[in-house]
Amino acid sequence: MGSIVTPLSLVYIGIVLYNAGLSSIRFDRDTIFALLGRFVLSPAVLIVLMLTGTHFSGTHLPAMLQQTQIVQSATPMLAVLPILATEAHGDVNYATNVVTTSTLLFVVVVPVLMQVIQFI
């Protein structure tokens, strides 16, 4: 049962997007803050934590592990977010907008993030 949650949530997102139309995707203030938090703040916090932990503990994580963790910290928003918003009587359109925009922008963010990781 647990393995079908993500595919079902993506179907639900598709239904909400179909009903609202692709023109409903918008970059308002709240969406921009959510995306900045996901794509900039989250990786930056993880990088600082890794560098601080490495400095104080004296142990070094393998480079591939560090890179993997940093990229994972910038993955798109939780795909089940619109379902959770529905259950909590929240803003389903906003949740769908954030998931959709973060998924679409992830294609651009990964190459940029990989370039940033090279300097760490």
pLDDT per residue, tens digit, the chain (120 aa), is 677 877 877 787 778 767 766 677 889 999 999 999 999 999 999 999 999 998 898 888 898 999 999 999 998 877 778 888 889 999 888 888 888 888 888 889 999 999 988 887
**Residue 24 host element (H or E):** none
Query: Cα separation of 100 and 86, whole Å?
Result: 16
Give the chain's domain count: 1
103: amino acid identity, one letter:
T
What is the number of other CB atoms lying within 10 angstroms of the CB of residue 77? 21
- Domain residue limits at 32: 2-117
Query: Cα separation of 94 and 75, whole Å?
Result: 18
Task: Kindly report the pTM of this predicted structure.
Answer: 0.76
